[in-house]
């Protein structure tokens, strides 16, 4: 599981609550780079990557990488992702059911 906590403590706390909801996992890695986290999801290094708050420059290339790599990616509300999406859930097609994590979870504002 790859996550990024960002710079806002309240949002980071909500992300950690979400990680607790999907526990147990083999490992949790905090990236520090949404672009790298999405690239890892695209190539299969991560089964799932979560990020709660993004800017367009953080997510633009990652959307393309995940889609072209055959992965699945949705915004934090479970809808279609775009560069205007503030948060994302991305992963391999095999974990597409986990993308429902975006709906009704504590990371949503």
Parse the chain into domains and list their residue ranges. Answer: 2-49+58-86
Cα distance between residue 36 and residue 97, in whole Å: 23
DSSP state of 42: H
Supply the pLDDT for residue 67. 92
Of the candidates 91, 98, 101, which has an alpha carbon nearest to the alpha carbon of residue 52? 101
Q: Could you write out the DSSP letters of every residue in 21-46?
A: HH---S--EE-S-HHHHHHHHHHTS-
- Whole-structure pTM value: 0.78
Supply the pLDDT for residue 99. 60
CA distances to 45, 59, 66, 81, 95 from 54, in Å: 21, 7, 16, 12, 22
Supply the pLDDT for residue 96. 59
**Is 58 in contact with 89 (CB distance < 8 Å)?**
no
The alpha carbons of the chain give a radius of gyration, in whole angstroms, of 12
For the chain, residues with pLDDT lower than 70 are 94-109
How wide is the angle at C-alpha 17 spanned by C-alphas 16 and 18, nearest 5°? 90
Supply the pLDDT for residue 68. 92
Supply the pLDDT for residue 88. 87
Return the bridge partners of 16, or none: none
């Amino acid at each position: 599981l790859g996550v990024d906590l960002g710079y806002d403590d309240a949002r980071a706390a909500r992300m950690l609550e979400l990680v607790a909801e999907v526990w147990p996992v083999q490992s949790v890695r905090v990236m520090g780079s949404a672009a790298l986290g999405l690239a890892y999801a695209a190539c299969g290094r991560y089964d799932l990557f979560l990020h709660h708050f993004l800017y367009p420059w953080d997510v633009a290339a990652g959307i393309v990488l995940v889609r072209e790599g055959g992965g699945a990616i949705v915004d934090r509300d479970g809808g279609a992702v775009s560069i205007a999406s503030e948060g994302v859930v991305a992963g391999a097609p095999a974990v597409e059911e986990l993308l429902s994590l975006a709906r009704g979870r504590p990371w949503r504002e």
